[in-house]
Amino acid sequence: MELWLGEQRASAEHFTLGFVGHRALSAADAAALLRHPLVGLAQLEVEGGAAPVRARSAALEAEWTLDGARSQLAVRCADPAAGVQSLEALAAMLRPQTVTLADAGGAPCAPVPFMPVGLLFVRHLLDAQTPFQRIQVGEHPLFGRVLFLNGETQIASSDERAYTEGFVAGALRPGLRRAMVLGGGDCGVVRELLAQGVEKVLMIEIDEEVVRVCAEYFPDVVGETLSDPRATIRYGDAFAYLRDRGQRIDLIVYDLSDAPLTLGDYGPVLPLIKRALAPGGRVAMQCGSGMPEDRARLEVVLEGLRAEFGNCTTRDVDVPSFVQRPWVFAYADLLS
């Protein structure tokens, strides 16, 4: 297996990562990160100061040299696939400003800015700035083709259906004939709603370029959505559309690219969603990471749904290309 970081390539079996701009780590701090369940390096040799922290698992061996806000990780992978996922989880928790990659014994590449909610080992095929956001498409050694918006992983060709089918399966029940998708420019949710028998789907996407890019780079995700007469796409602000909408709808799917961080980020839109739902209607919302360190934030989000609708259920879905997993979806019904 080959790894990429920007234009740099390295063997996935033996390489070195450099991290710059993270918080200063003690050996104990580093050991705690390496023991995290998503990293899984439980066999550790910990020494004081800047001496390397040595760790191993069945998948990989690592020697981590610490120097304040800089560090270097020398890696040997017996199982490159598992090793890649461990190291990407480690980087996501470490959150350095930049990362370098080098083959064992080779010179490192120029520092590459780290995408804190994305993936690490990516070779970019497209990097474009629209009036609304940065769109990137890359290739990943495990997850295939990946879409990023503002550095955040949106879909990967290897597991898009895990996200889409998991999200939609929790949203559907008898009687939901008309649906509105807020965001969702990759068209996967629209495709799945139509496949499950929803009669009409309206998608409100602010950035037309996302749809165009996905049609070009992810044709299997988009499917026949753009030509299906049951689907309508309108480009504009989803919240403005909700404010102006007259006709009520059975199902509203909140699939905007930024996972809500606090109730204050999206709380004002919940009354708009409630007002737009038909009696007995349902809202489905992607809520972001369900990792233990994110649970407090998640509970605030779920409490907002309970306060507005009087009910809320959740569904956890494992999406391997999302470093912070499981991913949590929430559902609430308009009961009166």
Where would I find the beta strands (DSSP E) of 23-168?
Answer: 43-45, 53-56, 60-67, 70-77, 98-103, 112-113, 123-129, 134-140, 144-149, 152-156
Question: What does 134-184 look like in DSSP terms, one character per residue?
Answer: EEEEEEETTTEEEEEETTEEEEETTTHHHHHHHHHHHH--TT--EEEEEE-
Q: Which residues, 6 or more positions from 132, have their beta carbon under 8 angstroms from its beta carbon?
A: 206, 207
Dist. CA 8–CA 103, nearest whole Å? 9
3-state secondary structure of 34: helix
Residue type at 308 in one-letter notation: E
Q: Give the CA radius of gyration of the chain.
A: 22
- Kind and range of the H or E run holding 240: helix 238-244
Indicate if 255 belongs to the active site.
yes
Whether 75 contacts 64, CB under 8 Å: no
Matching residue, tokens 């550790």: 44
Q: Which secondary-structure segment (H or E) carries 215? A: helix 208-217
Cα–Cα nearest to 136, from 31, 122, 15: 122
In the set 29, 228, 255, 333, the catalytic residue is 255
Under a CB-based contact definition with an 8 Å cutoff, are residues 290 and 327 in contact? yes
- Residue numbers annotated as active site: 255
